[in-house]
Amino acid sequence: MTADHKHDKNAIACNHVVRRKRPVMIVSYDGDGLWQFMCGKADHTKAKQAKKVCAACMFETHAPGITPEEIPAGHIAERQTKTSWTVRALTDAEKNEIEG
């Protein structure tokens, strides 16, 4: 961790990412300030598969090539290569899915 690292911003990540079974392929930042780090697969069927994590730790260890400053609220970053990401606005359907 960097010297100025703070563990003050919570996020959620799928269990596949937390256990390092799959890489982070999607980072989203909803309008309410919630960060999500997901593997991008559609096999998340239970709420317990989402784990509370530190957003700064996830950026440092699981999301190379992207920083929080590059993803405004209401946007999503999708990994193209190991360190290349595409950032776009969340669609209405994605916003509804996040809000549950």
Compute the distance between CA of residue 69 and CA of residue 22 in angstroms, rounded to an integer.
24
Q: Which residues contact 45 (CB under 8 A, 6 or more apart)?
A: none
Domain that holds residue 71: 10-91
In a domain, 17, yes or no: yes
d(CA 93, CA 78): 16
**46 vs 10: CA distance, rounded Å:** 20
How many structural domains are present in the chain?
A: 1
User: Does 64 fall in a domain?
Assistant: yes
Residue 100: predicted pLDDT: 60
Q: What local confidence, expressed as pLDDT, does residue 21 receive?
A: 93
Q: Judge whether 96 lies within some domain.
A: no
- Residue 21 within a domain: yes
pLDDT digits (tens, 9 = 90+) for 35-87: 999 998 888 777 778 899 999 999 999 999 999 999 999 999 999 999 999 99
Amino acid 67: pLDDT: 93
